[in-house]
Structure 1
Amino acid sequence: MSIAAQLSQLEAGSGPQRTQGYDDLLKEILASENVANDLVAYVQSITSDSVGVISSRPLLSAFVSQFRTYGNNAVKLEAGPQILQIIGSKVVSFEQQDTDLKLILADAYEADEDFTNSAKTLQTITLESSQRQVSDDEKAKIWMRICRCYLEEDDATNAVSYLNKIKQIIYNVSDQATRLQFQLSQARISDSQRSFLDASTAYHALSTESVIDEEERLQALSAAITCAVLAPAGPQRGRQLAKLYKDERATDAPEYGILEKIFLDRLLSPAEVATFAAGLKEHQLAKTSDGSTVLDKAILEHNLLAVSRIYANITFGNLGKLLGVDADRAEVYASGMIESNRLSGSIDQIAGIIHFNTKEPNNPKVELRLWDKNVAGLSEEVEKITTALQREEPTWYEQQVGA
């Protein structure tokens, strides 16, 4: 007897025999060759009006369990969308089963590396319903998964929209894995949008999470260093570089060499820059409006700051030679950094000379900046020690704080 005939016969039946008959037929279908079409017909039958909702729900739940463990991914991709379409018009009656099937189909898409369709499938899951209570943890988990799927496709725009949804409820989320994924996604989005300072801060925070494997923490630390190097030169970047340089684990990172030179305001050679560039991602090597890469700009600005530590003044011609650019471009970068308060100095355009203030011993602004830097460094060390005490001796720490 054909599958269609057996299904018609079962629809006309009733009671435990019908339920057992459907279970036996499902096993037969899963062992056959025409699986996808027969599975669609099976769901059409068990959700039909002749079977009734009371019987349909347990039958559909049993089907979901079998469908989840079925090993042929291609069959899931072929049958899944059709099955969802069948129960879509009756989703109020089968809301939980509809959600479970969408999660299974999303898994199948991701196994096939089709992250866009996975995200689109997950987006159709009902999260606001009068039929079932959906916790903030469940909502965040779904939104986080959608966000990560879009990030896999380098679609930062859609990823951000779902990350913003999570931001509204993140403080109610207790699941540690979801919270960590949220932190990582924040870092990845900032990185992809070239907000490198924000990305560096987020990656570094992630690298200190003790629940993450040591190897993954070091990867996050490396990403934090890379993003700090690519960030625009200035006081904020300087503080972030100081924090990374003082991290005891930084010496184990491949990027430590360039981090040290930048932190100590030493000139970087083209060979060192080329070695660092070899490990960058595609978006980190994208061209800016003036035709240079983000790395080119970051290194040029760093070397300009390094020159300001060595010279009291210098002509733009000689500055250009040190930076590896022409005199006009050297002047443009220098004036831009001075205007944005990222470089202390003044320009004599008539003489073609830039004067740096960093070498002036009695400059009150310089002295204040050095004082601020020392205070910031001391504060960071105190914070580091406090965090270590809280982690290693939590009982003693609570006693001291509460005293």
Structure 2
Amino acid sequence: MAAYVHSKMSGGLAGGKGYQDLLDQILSKYKKTELKEALEAFLTSSLDKRLSLVDAKSVLSFFAERIPRIGKDIVKDVCHFALASIQPRIVSFEEQVTNIRLALSKIYEEDGQWSNSAEVLCGIPLESGQKIYTADFKMEVYLKITQLYLEDENHVSAEAYLNRAGLLQAEVSKGQLHIIYKVCSAKMADFRRKFSDAARRYIQLSYESAIHPDERMTSLKRAMICTILSSA
């Protein structure tokens, strides 16, 4: 199947639609081991320098969009293969790498592998790459990493990314990001045993009308617990 994919790619396809059709054919035709080999062959051929940069970007974008269709038994391996293959030319494919990482992170999160999910997101070159990201996008990613590390009780790493998110507060436009930041900050103060600070932050959250009533009640309960602990 790998030879078939290579021959189809090297033979030339009718623009982006041709690559899209080939990828869809691979996803519908092969299963498990054969699918993994076919997708790796597809990705390898996509990065062949004989393929124009425009076509290569198009192919990898199609691949990123179709990651949810890949079986869970091989999807992580295929995504890591894609990222490793792109790495030598990452400057040319930053947008595609970002989309692959976002999709892969979601898969790890769904499997409860919080730190793995966070580490995949950490690989997005938000500050060091050629692509310019909006403050909203950067803060959203930093907060997601913070939340994932908090789920895994890795508070040191969580705090590092929470601090990065904090530096962007004045630049973001999405109100929801500010709320998520407040939630993470309250949890961090709670973990650091700064109970008075945590109680104050939880109380503030309990008054946030944008938060679901159940979550507001949870924040109020946590505020009460932290208040008791602060006076112990």
Common fold by TM > 0.5:
yes
2:27 aligns with one of 13, 30, 48: 30
State the one-letter code of the partner of 1:220: S
**How has the CA–CA distance of structure 1 residues 29 and 14 changed in structure 2, closer, same or farther, with 3 Å as cutoff?**
closer
CA distance in 2, matches of 1:163, 1:8: 45
Structure 2: how far apart are the matches of 1:147 and 1:112?
Answer: 18
Q: Give the number of the structure whose alpha-carbon radius of gyration is greater.
A: 1
- CA shift, 1:177, in A, is 1.9
CA drift at 1:130: 6.2
Q: CA–CA distance in 1 between the matches of 2:19 and 2:58?
A: 11
Q: Corresponding residue for 1:58?
A: 58
Alignment of 1:282-301 (within 5 A): 298=232
Q: Corresponding residue for 2:148? A: 149
Q: Tell me which residue corresponds to 2:105.
A: 106
Q: Per residue, is there more helix in 1 or in 2?
A: 2
1:141-200 Cα deviation digits (max 9, x unpaired): 111011111100111111111111111111212212211111011111111121111111
| Cα distance change, pair 71–220 in 1 and its aligned pair in 2 (3 A) | farther
Q: CA deviation at 1:27?
A: 1.7
Contact 2:27–2:70 (Cα < 8 Å) also in 1: no
- The equivalences for 1:41-190 within 5 A come to 41-67=41-67, 69-70=68-69, 72-128=71-127, 131-190=130-189
For 1:193, the equivalent position in structure 2 comes to 192
In structure 2, what residue type is equivalent to 1:199?
A
Amino acid corresponding to residue 70 of structure 1 in structure 2:
R
* Contact 2:189-2:198 within 8 A present in 1 as well: yes
The alignment's TM-score, normalised by the length of structure 1, stands at 0.54
Instruction: Report the number of matched residues.
Output: 229
> How big is the shift at 1:6?
2.2
CA contact (8 A) 1:147 1:162 kept: yes
Q: Kindly indicate whether the alpha-carbon contact (under 8 Å) linking 1:115 and 1:149 is maintained by their aligned counterparts in 2.
A: yes
Q: Say which SS state the counterpart of residue 127 (structure 1) adopts.
A: coil
Match of residue 4 from structure 1: 2
What is the rounded CA distance, in whole Å, between the counterparts of 2:80 and 2:133 in structure 1?
24
Q: Supply the distance in 2 between the matched residues of 1:62 and 1:71 (Cα, whole angstroms).
A: 13
Q: Which residue of 2 aligns with 1:309?
A: none
CA contact (8 A) 2:6 2:42 kept: no
Greater relative contact order: 1 or 2 (C-alpha under 8 angstroms, separation 6 or more)?
2
- Return 5+ residue gaps in structure 1 as ranges: 234-297, 299-403
Structure 2 counterpart of 1:153, one-letter code: D
Say which SS state the counterpart of residue 219 (structure 1) adopts: helix
Q: Deviations for 1:56-98, whole angstroms, at most 9, x for unmatched residues?
A: 111111121112x316333222211111101111111111000
Question: Structure 2: how far apart are the matches of 1:192 and 1:136?
Answer: 27
Q: Which amino acid aligns with 1:211?
A: A
Aligned residue for 1:128, secondary structure, equals coil
Any idea what the Cα deviations from partners look like across 1:231-279, whole Å, max 9, x if unmatched? 1x3xxxxxxxxxxxxxxxxxxxxxxxxxxxxxxxxxxxxxxxxxxxxxx
**SS class of match (1:93):** helix
Determine what percentage of the aligned residue pairs are the same residue.
30
Is contact 1:10–1:21 with CA below 8 Å preserved after alignment?
Answer: no
How far off is 1:15 after superposition?
Answer: 5.4
Q: Are the structure 2 counterparts of residues 71 and 176 from structure 1 closer, same or farther at C-alpha, using a change threshold of 3 Å?
A: farther
Distance, in Å, in 2 between the alignment partners of 1:181 and 1:12 is 48
- Determine if contact 1:143/1:162 at 8 Å carries over to the other structure: yes
Distance 1:80 1:15 in 2: 23
Which letter maps to 1:208? Y
Aligned-partner Cα distance in 2 for 1:76–1:116: 18
Equivalences for residues 362-401 of structure 1 within 5 A: none
Structure 2 unpaired stretches of 5+: none
Distance in 2 separating the partners of 1:8 and 1:216: 53
- CA RMSD, aligned part only? 1.7
Query: What SS class does the counterpart of residue 182 from structure 2 fall into?
Result: helix
Distance 1:130 1:54, change over 3 A: same
For 1:206-355, list aligned pairs within 5 A. 206-231=205-230, 233=231, 298=232
Quote how far apart the aligned CAs of 1:204 are: 0.7
Where 1:90 maps in the other structure, the secondary structure is helix
SS in 2 for 1:25: helix
CA change 1:5–1:37 in 2 (3 A) is closer
What stretches of structure 1 move > 4 A for 4+ residues in a row? 18-21
User: Do the aligned partners of 1:119 and 1:146 also contact (CA within 8 Å) in 2?
Assistant: yes
